[in-house]
Amino acid sequence: MKALCFDIFGSPDVLYYGDVADRVIGDDEVMVKTKAIGLNFADTYRRNGNYHLVGQPPFIAGYEGAGEIVQIGKNISHLKIGDRIGFADVPLANAELVAVPASHAIPLPTNIGLETAAAMLLQGLTAQYLTTDSYQVKPGNVILVHAAAGGVGQLLVQLSKHFGATVIGLTSSAIKKQNVINAGADDCFLYNEDWKKQLVDKYKGVDVVYESIGSTLMDSFEVTKTGGTIVFFGFAGGNPPLIDPRMLMDTSKTITGGDLWSYLTSAEERLKRSAELFNWIEQGVISVDISRKFALSDGAAAHAFLESRQSTGKILLIP
């Protein structure tokens, strides 16, 4: 089969599209022929060597996708060949064929397309736990969302508005700012402006910051009200500085971390959380913005585009 691979860590140039051995499924797995694969910043972290990878080269990144079952393990009776499924936490996803544990397979309702599933499962489930588990967004909260034009950012905007919060976005260009407003944000500032002063002057600070940049962590603390919370879930802009616990004590501020794998702990959790996402889509609470599609063979260009900060919404890889 074909897959998007890399043998060494580095820039997008280390990626290549080549032949690898077909996967062999276990008794409790299904083989999925992928139709769409979600690209995420975590994939660039793996390519750069910032995330641990198991095994030997060639490495294959990716955890999210959707497709059709083409082979069934002998212990599985609730799925069949031809079923449409999505998955959010299955490694080696940047390939034509992916071995998916039955416990990780998420059957898709008829109204959820394969590209929609590949575009929303990982980021949608991330936005879900961030707004309900890491911090439970409540009516009246004032919330700041970093990288608000991105895939997770737009979903955080939409869900926070659904839960009754006032939502402020941060982004890097006027075009992206309009995308954030279109997603439902009450306000949006640009990183190249004096956004901290504008935000504090206008809103007197925020209750919660969704921090995914990393290098902006201390800026986030500056605009957080006394007693407020930073939800840290990514470092797309570089590693964060070390935090002095005395600062947290003196300001009565809280920082909490979030990782999706801590919440996708069972088949029941995956099905319950994805069903809530599907319901939100059906009700119009959230919508998925597919920014751009690349052939899987053009994966290096897709990585470069994601890291260029030109994208809004979700990038898909199409086998």
Whole-angstrom distance, CA of residue 251 vs CA of residue 265: 34
Q: What tens digit of pLDDT does each residue of 253-309 get? A: 999 998 999 999 999 999 999 999 999 999 999 998 898 999 999 999 999 999 887
- DSSP-assigned letters across all residues of 116-137: HHHHHHHHHHHHHHIIIIIS--
* Cα distances (angstroms) measured from residue 89 to each of 64, 65, 117, 187, 259: 6, 9, 13, 33, 12
d(CA 132, CA 110): 27
Residues 26 and 74 in one domain: yes
pLDDT for position 258: 85
Both 17 and 104 in a single domain?
yes
Q: Percentage of the chain with pLDDT > 90?
A: 90
User: What confidence tens digit (pLDDT) does each residue in 202-233 have?
Assistant: 999 999 999 999 999 999 999 999 999 999 99
83 belongs to a structural domain: yes
pLDDT confidence band for 62 (50 / 70 / 90):
very high
| 10 in the same domain as 110 | yes
257, 275, 306 - which closes a domain = 257
Instruction: Mark which of 229, 257, 285 sits at the end of a domain.
Output: 257
| CA dist., res. 48 & res. 146, Å (int) | 22
Confirm if 96 and 90 have CB atoms less than 8 A apart.
no
Q: Report d(CA 144, CA 222) in Å as an integer.
A: 12
Give me the pLDDT at residue 165, please: 98
pLDDT of 88 higher than 80: yes
Domain shared by 114 and 147, yes or no: no
Asked, for residue 273, whether it belongs to a domain, the answer is yes
The pLDDT of 73-86, averaged and rounded, is 97
Predicted confidence at residue 291, as pLDDT, reads 87
Number of domains in the chain: 2
One domain, residues 7 and 31 = yes
Q: What is the pLDDT of residue 297?
A: 98
Looking at this protein, which amino acid is placed at residue 111? N
Range of the domain at 163: 139-257
| One domain for residues 63 and 151 | no
Instruction: Classify residue 131: in a domain, yes or no.
Output: no
Mean pLDDT, all residues of the chain: 95
Residue 92 and residue 82: Cα distance in Å, rounded? 21
What pLDDT is recorded for position 50? Answer: 81
Residues 104 and 14 placed together within one structural domain of the fold: yes
Would residue 204 count as lying in a domain? yes
Residue 127 lies in a domain: no
pLDDT tens per residue, range 106-120: 999 999 999 999 999
Q: Is 132 a domain residue?
A: no
Indicate if 113 and 165 belong to the same structural domain.
no
For residue 224, how far is the Cα from the chain centroid?
24
Q: Are 237 and 211 within one domain?
A: yes
Instruction: State the Cα–Cα distance between residues 17 and 5, nearest whole angstrom.
Output: 6
Q: Which of 228, 257, 286 is the last residue of a domain?
A: 257
CATH of the domain at 190: 3.40.50.720
The answer as to whether 129 is a domain residue is no
- pLDDT (average), residues 32-41: 96
Contacts of 118 (CB under 8 A, 6+ apart): 35, 36, 37, 38, 64, 65, 66, 86, 316
Whether 180 and 206 have beta carbons less than 8 Å apart is answered as: no
- pTM beyond cutoff 0.75: yes
Q: Provide the token pair at 79.
A: 């799925």
Residues 115 and 147 in one domain: no
What pLDDT band is residue 42 in, cutting at 50, 70 and 90? confident
pLDDT over 80 at 52, yes or no? no
- pLDDT at residue 129 in the model: 97
The CATH number covering residue 109 comes to 3.90.180.10
Determine the pLDDT at residue 53.
Answer: 74
User: Which one-letter amino acid corresponds to residue 222?
Assistant: E
Residues 29 and 70 in one domain: yes
Domain assignment present for 53: yes
Query: What residue type is assigned to position 218 of the chain?
Result: M
According to the model, what pLDDT value does residue 311 have? Answer: 78
The pLDDT tens digits of the residues spanning 127-164 come to 999 999 999 999 999 999 999 998 899 999 999 999 99
Tell whether the model's pLDDT for residue 193 goes beyond 80: yes
In this structure, are 105 and 11 located in the same domain?
Answer: yes
